[in-house]
Amino acid sequence: MIKLIASDIDGTLVPEGAHVLAPAYFDVIRDMREAGIIFCACSGRKYESMRKLFEPVADMIYFISANGTLVRTKDRILHSWSIDPDMYPPLLQKLRSVGSGEIVVEGPDDCWIEGSDTPVTRLMRDQYKYSVENVTNLDALVTKDIIKVSFYYPDVEELTEDFYNSRFSKDLSMTVSGKTWLDFTAAGTGKGTALAFLKQHLGIHSEETVYFGDNLNDLSAFQEAGVTGTVQNARPELHEAADIVAPSFTDRGVLQALRHLLELKRQVQAANNT
């Protein structure tokens, strides 16, 4: 019987960077909670942006943010994974050698970008609704608790072969998020690691868990779920791996799937009570 449903956000529930979620999602999350199903929002986004998106139900759901490096409720952090400080300076050096693109550094509660009023600063502030602190030099953050370093590049998959052949693929987790983001987190981390932690924290098993996602950074979470789902607009790799292919986010495909799963849960509960 389903007890936990987790879902990616961008490309799965909403268009990339959207900051408004259809109110019908809040209704089904409330109904699921009443039926004994916990909902978890799981994203590469910073927690602050996720909380704003889910504000009407933020006190009854869980959050996995920053591509699986932070697990929390609205009130408290349950666990976080930090990048080895020794890896931070050489990673910055490598990213700067690319020549174009912008670097975004995140802590559990902070977001730093070098320079002022850069294109990515405006993107994070205006589209994703981040609180951004512009700094003169990202190298000075080496003493901070850093959970994610992201590189924004127009076609980020062009860069992946070079990075996969570097030391960073061994000493850090590296994930493509959408078409423009390459994310670096602590070694061994990802959405799957965070979902495994949350399941253990809640005492929920894989066969009681459902996960929805649309991109490569969701595949590790697929391994932690008994039922996996994607949307029509997802990458081909997700179509091949998923048990459920719902309509596109433009047609609120995951909402349709959530309603169906909720109805199945209610039918099972009714049958058990007869």
- Count the neighbouring beta carbons within 10 Å of the beta carbon of residue 59: 10
Q: What is the 3-state secondary structure (H, E, C) of 47-104?
A: HHHHHHHCHHHHHHCEEEECCCCEEECCCCEEEECCCCHHHHHHHHHHHHCCCCCEEE
Q: Which residues pair with 42 in a beta bridge?
A: 64
Distance linking the first and last C-alpha atoms of the chain: 17
- Which helix (H) or strand (E) element contains residue 37? none
For residue 218, the model assigns a pLDDT of 97
Does residue 269 sit in helix, strand or coil?
helix
| Residues with pLDDT less than 50, the chain | none
d(CA 119, CA 103): 11
Does residue 244 sit in helix, strand or coil?
strand
For residue 99, the model assigns a pLDDT of 74
d(CA 258, CA 173): 31
For residue 162, the model assigns a pLDDT of 80
For residue 177, the model assigns a pLDDT of 82
Give the distance, in angstroms, between the CA of residue 144 and the centroid of all CA atoms in the same chain: 22
DSSP tag of 247: P
For residue 129, the model assigns a pLDDT of 87
d(CA 255, CA 16): 17
Domains of the chain: 4-80+190-272 (3.40.50.1000), 85-186 (3.30.1240.10)
Give the distance, in angstroms, between the CA of residue 123 and the centroid of all CA atoms in the same chain: 18
DSSP 108-137: SS-EEEESSS-HHHHIIIIIS----EEES-
Instruction: Please give the model's pTM, rounded to 2 decimal places.
Output: 0.91
For residue 166, the model assigns a pLDDT of 81
8 Å CB contact between 8 and 215: yes
For residue 4, the model assigns a pLDDT of 98
8 Å CB contact between 47 and 72: yes
d(CA 163, CA 142): 21
d(CA 10, CA 95): 24
Side-by-side strand order, sheet with 133-135: 133-135, 111-114, 102-106, 148-152, 181-186, 172-177
For residue 268, the model assigns a pLDDT of 83
For residue 116, the model assigns a pLDDT of 86
For residue 269, the model assigns a pLDDT of 86
d(CA 108, CA 138): 16
